[in-house]
Amino acid sequence: MIEYKTAYNELKQGLIQLKNNTNADKTMNDRVKTILATVENKSTIVPATKQIQQVEAMAKDIINKKLEENQTLQKEIQDYDTFIQKFKTDQIILVSNETTTTSLKTPILTIDSATKNILQSQENPTKTYLDLNKKMVQGYLDAVNNDGAEKLNMSDATYKKSKTYLTTTKEKIDTALLAYTDEPLLAQGQ
């Protein structure tokens, strides 16, 4: 197995040589320069420790506040008879049965902008797989819709089952593809 550093140096030298040999072909030379710039990019991907610690502190603060509220309420109801008497005499009682829901969000990694752009521009293999299957299922569905059971050499029952299966499969693929219409960022830039 070839070491990373060796492979990197060989790739870089090969690209430099190719760049120098393609001066006559400006389009090719520009492509090689772009690839070389990508290879030479020193990417920085590090854990987002500071952001994770900030979210951890916020979570602890929320929990501590709720614990304090519960302790205050517990102190009030320790003397049960007095607590019940308050209910009878006070018009307004500030007791709630609320549920607290909080969402905290932080990146796991911080990535430099150049690397983030490269990662975000990559094709998503799952979406590509779904697109391919959608195209195939649509082709079969078109054939079933355009040709009858006789032309496709099927019984009516098989034709109806095939059409139902293909329609259902197409709908499920379309539903799955909805997840890829608005992809979130991979990580926060530095």
**119-163 confidence digits (pLDDT tens):** 888 888 899 999 999 999 999 999 999 998 999 999 999 999 999
* Beta-strand runs (E) in 10-147: 45-47, 109-111
What are 46's strand-pairing partners? 110
Q: Rounded to whole angstroms, how far apart are CA atoms 81 and 87? A: 10
Q: Rounded to whole angstroms, how far apart are CA atoms 110 and 141? A: 45
For 71, the enclosing helix (H) or strand (E) is helix 49-77
> For the ranges 6-15, 24-33, 38-47, 48-57, which has the lowest average pLDDT?
38-47
Decide if 113 contacts 42 (C-beta within 8 A): no
Q: Rounded to whole angstroms, how far apart are CA atoms 33 and 15? A: 8
pTM: predicted TM-score of the whole model, two decimal places: 0.45
Structure tokens at 153: 């050499």
Q: Rounded to whole angstroms, how far apart are CA atoms 159 and 39? A: 54
43, amino acid identity: S
